[in-house]
Amino acid sequence: MGANTRGFANLLNTDGTFLSGAINNTSVSGITDLPTAAKSDLVPIIGYGLGNDAAMEHIDGDRSGVAVFDGTYDAYCFTFTNVRPTSDNVDFQWNASTDSGSNFNVTKTTTDWAAGHDEGEVFTSGNLSYDVDADLTQSTGYCRIARGVSSDTDHGVCGELWIFNVASTTHVKHFYSRVSQNDRNNFLYDQHTSGYLNTTSAVDGVAFRFNSGNLSTGDIRVYGLK
Amino acid sequence: MGQATRNIANSFTTSGVITSSAVNNTTISGITDINDLGGSLILISEQTASADASVSFTSGIDSTYDEYWFILNNIHPSGNTGGLGINFSTDGGSNWNVTKTTASFVAMHAENNAIAQIIYENGYDLAQSTADQEICQNIYTGNDESISGIIKLYNPSSTTYVKHFISNTQSYFASARSWHHLIAGYCNTTSAINGVIFRFDTNNMDDGTIQLFGVK
């Protein structure tokens, strides 16, 4: 005890405050949760590394409960880092589930628009356009996030998708996405999509895929907003 | 040691609970990990402009994080100026001239309602250019005039992919307009990006802060 006391005293300033060495990673290793007020607004939930997968599914309760997608958070953010397809000229898209991933077919109404500009200005000068062929009108189909994505090894999709209040049984579920992407003709697209899942059932899963071929490489990370 | 042990009593309440005065920022400076209980936005550095020709970040941008955010708050020029630009470096800031292709558009609305529109800006996008990408235009020197916003940079340390970035800024345009500027693009290089610079095309950066965050 004497040694402890002496050691303890060495971790004190003369005014009694603790020195920098008094608390370290070991000291706080027993803390596994913080009061809500002390937590960050944006909480990392899980990250998925892609490797020639047909789809990436995030289902509430999967991965031994790590994959949270319920009323724990008011909003969820999916970030995309260099998501690249195995096939060239394919659309990156997503859908939602209300039955824990048995079906990905929630009814949606969406908008889809982009600013585009190609490297060589071969096709046209830059432009801003609404894409009437890509929006959805009460459709259960997959919603496009990125168009005609290139499979070149240095290309991909980067950006994010936000989905709000997924556990609500009162409201439809709004969402929006914005990505920067390369298409097959070396076009840069600043691609925007927004809409709502037209259901008052709780949404408990999402799936990402390309409309043809697989998810070759990249990362998709999931965050919850407190 | 005697003084310290005598004063230790001041660091506890009568019930033995550590008081707020016992622990300060220095005390916990040795903590580098707390079971991932912290948030996902990790502040790497912050700079405050004060009549500077530019503000640059040449450290802290590496493979630690997949995504980096630059949060701009009330950036204000020293003289009437065209716009605030961003550029990138692959050599730690020796050169700011990475090739970029970008798209640029803006939604604007004047205080007098004389203009309200959304347009693509052909004069402010880049096609394989090493020039600065302007993320806003025509910021003047009124004390209340400035630009704020967020620029997100993805996977800058990759030696495989081009480096995408997305800018979302709101500014006070010179002729009393709200100016919401949206830009996205990529640095067309497979070299790692390790520096980012912000500078007005003319005049200095008189005021404002830029924070660099890593997204965990």
Rounded to two decimals, the ipTM of the complex is 0.79
CA distance A75 to A166: 7
Q: Is A37 on the interface with B (CB under 8 A)?
A: no
Q: Which two tokens stand for residue A131?
A: 């894409």
Chain B residues within 8 A of A126 when measuring between CB atoms: 103-104, 120-122, 125
**DSSP per residue over B142-210, as a string?**
-TT--EEEEEEEE-TT-SSS-EEEEEEEEEEETTTEEEEEEEEEEE--SSPP-EEEEEESSS-EEEEEE
Q: At B78, list the tokens.
A: 């020293």
Residue identified by tokens 């996008």 is B125
Query: Does the pLDDT at position B56 exceed 80?
Result: yes
* Chain A residue numbers touching B8 (CB-CB < 8 A): 9, 12, 16
pLDDT for A17:
76
Decide if A43 and B40 are in contact by the 8 Å CB cutoff: yes
The answer to whether the CB atoms of A190 and B105 lie below 8 A apart is yes
Test mutation, A10, A43, A119, A186, chain B, max B CBs within 10 A: A119
**CA A84 to chain CA mean position, Å:** 15
Tell me what pLDDT residue A54 has: 98
Interchain CB contact of A152 with B (< 8 Å)? no
The stretches in chain A having pLDDT less than 70 are 1-2, 4-5, 28, 32-40, 124
CA distance A130 to chain B (A): 12
Per-residue pLDDT tens over the stretch B144-202: 889 999 999 999 999 999 999 999 999 998 878 899 999 999 999 999 999 999 999 98
CB distance from A36 to chain B under 8 Å?
no
pTM of the prediction? 0.83
Contact of B183 with chain A, judged by CB distance below 8 Å, is answered with yes
pLDDT attached to residue A1: 47
Beta bridge partner(s), residue A128: A115
Size of interface A-B (CB pairs under 8 A): 184
Residues of chain A in contact with residue B190, where contact means CB-CB under 8 angstroms, are: 154
Give the nearest chain A residue to B7 (CA atoms). Answer: A16
Could you identify the residue written with the tokens 């724990």? A72
**How distant, in Å, are the alpha carbons of A59, A203, A204, B43, B162 from that of A99?**
9, 8, 7, 39, 38
Q: Phi then psi for A6, rounded to 5 degrees?
A: -65, -40
Q: Which of B26, B66, B117, B191 is the best substitution to test chain A (most A C-beta atoms within 10 A)? A: B66
Q: pLDDT digit string (tens) for B68-97? A: 999 999 999 998 887 999 999 999 999 999
67-126 of B, contacting A, C-beta below 8 A = 67, 101-105, 118-122, 125-126
The amino acid that residue B167 corresponds to is S
Q: Is A117 in Cβ contact with B127 (below 8 Å)?
A: yes
Total residues belonging to chain A: 226
Q: Are B153 and B62 in contact (CB under 8 A)?
A: no
Taking CB atoms and an 8 Å limit, are B103 and A115 in contact across chains? yes
Per-window interface: B 147-166 vs A, CB < 8 A: 154-155, 158, 160-162, 164-166
How long, in residues, is chain B?
A: 216
pLDDT at B142 over 80: yes
Q: Which residue out of A13, A77, A129 would a mutagenesis test of the B interface target, given it has the greatest number of B Cβ atoms within 10 Å?
A: A13
Q: Is the confidence at residue B7, as pLDDT, over 90? A: no
- Backbone φ, ψ for residue A21 (5° rounding): -85, 0
Query: How far apart (Å, rounded) are the C-alpha atoms in residues A80 and A161?
Result: 8
- Among residues B28, B186, B201, the alpha carbon closest in space to that of A189 is found at B186
